[in-house]
Amino acid sequence: MTPADETIRHDWTVDEIAALHDLPLLELIGRANAVHRTHHDANRVQRASLLSIKTGGCPENCAYCPQSAHHREVELTKDRLMDPTRVIALAATAKAAGAERFCMGAAWREVRDGAEFDAVVEMVEGVRALGMEACVTLGMLKPHQARRLAAAGLTAYNHNLDTSPEFYGRIVTTRTYRDRLDTLATVRAFGIDLCCGGIIGMGETVRDRASMLHVLAAMEPHPESVPINALVPVAGTPLAGRPPIDPLDLVRMVATARLVMPASTVRLSAGRSALNREAQILCLVAGANSLFYGDKLLTTPNADIGEDAALFAAIGDPGHACPLKESGALNKMAGSRAGADGCRCPH
């Protein structure tokens, strides 16, 4: 097999992608890192913040999701759509803590016109006015709704494939794969960037993982943003009993995504809280160049902000700013020595 190079391709086969995924690990990481350095600043890691602006009660039956109304045993407080003023204030706080991108998720099957959608448009405009990238995930949407979001300045629309077309029916039955692809096409038609990836650890095979990447890599252009998630099992959901993935499975998935979509931003997303510092750094070496910042991703736990500050300081990221100092929450990172400025980030 010919090694992957810097050329952007849209004709990858599932077999080729699976073969890349199964390369000896050091070879795979080496190739991915070389491609990454060709297309990106290897020292830059974008920070993104994710907020659930409307939680719970979703009519979809996604087997992994605690927000589904179908999973009645999940202990989750259902919340109405947040007030735009509050959301914009939280975005400002996230920016002060180092986030460059603010993502907002509503537990909806689809966008409905009316006061709630008007409020989301106001949120997008407010986040953009802060100088941040704005991303939303709202479910399916119609062309006129995508047009409004584009006019508001929306940077990206998140709508994950979740898994392969072949495995999808074992994870979701209330929405088809075609529905997801149609939504992505609607978003793209209005010049909004795509944020589209999937989840590993749900019982799928390596070929399923390759098949999902095949769908993404066949898009022209590739999605600008590709989140790679590891399942976070939640009690009360059908996938609650799934074992945790091997961290190296996540490294392999990141590296393979980087090889087949060289110019995309690969986002290390859900499941990161289960990785130690070294595993996260290995994902960055393998091609991830963004991660979600903050202690929660919608309703599942994320890495502690203090741990992330230490992570960025350890890798010598030039964009590192101490979020603890900015927020005034100094001297709370146990086990480290405060600097002269009172900050416990190991600058």
Topology of 11-315 in CATH? TIM Barrel (3.20.20)
Backbone angles phi, psi at 115, to 5 degrees: -60, -40
Q: For residue 77, what pLDDT is reported?
A: 54
Q: For residue 167, what pLDDT is reported?
A: 97
Q: For residue 80, what pLDDT is reported?
A: 83
Q: Are 168 and 211 in contact (CB under 8 A)?
A: no
Q: Read off the pLDDT of residues 310-325 as tens digits, 9 standing for 90 and up.
A: 777 777 764 544 444 4
Smallest Cα–Cα separation from 172: which of 146, 198, 147?
A: 198
In a 10 Å sphere around its CB, with 0-12 CB exposed, 13-18 middle and 19+ buried, how is residue 11 labelled? exposed
State the catalytic residues: 58, 62, 65, 103, 135, 195, 267
Give the side-chain half-sphere CA count within 13 A for 155.
19
CB atoms within 10 A of CB 325: 18
Q: For residue 226, what pLDDT is reported?
A: 97
Helices and strands: H and E segment counts in the chain: 11, 11
Q: For residue 347, what pLDDT is reported?
A: 29
Low-confidence ranges of the chain (pLDDT < 50): 1-6, 295-302, 318, 320-347
* DSSP single-letter state for residue 100: S
Q: For residue 339, what pLDDT is reported?
A: 36
pTM of the entire predicted model: 0.84
Q: Where are the beta strands (DSSP E) in 159-248?
A: 193-195, 198-200, 225-230
Summarize the annotated binding site as residue ranges: 58, 62, 65, 103, 135, 195, 267
Element (H, E) at 53: strand 46-54
Q: Is 303 in a helix, a strand, or coil? A: coil
- Domain residue spans in the chain? 11-315
Tokens representing 129 are: 């006015």
Summarize the annotated binding site for [4Fe-4S] cluster as residue ranges: 58, 62, 65
Token look-up 């999701």 returns: 65
Q: For residue 276, what pLDDT is reported?
A: 84
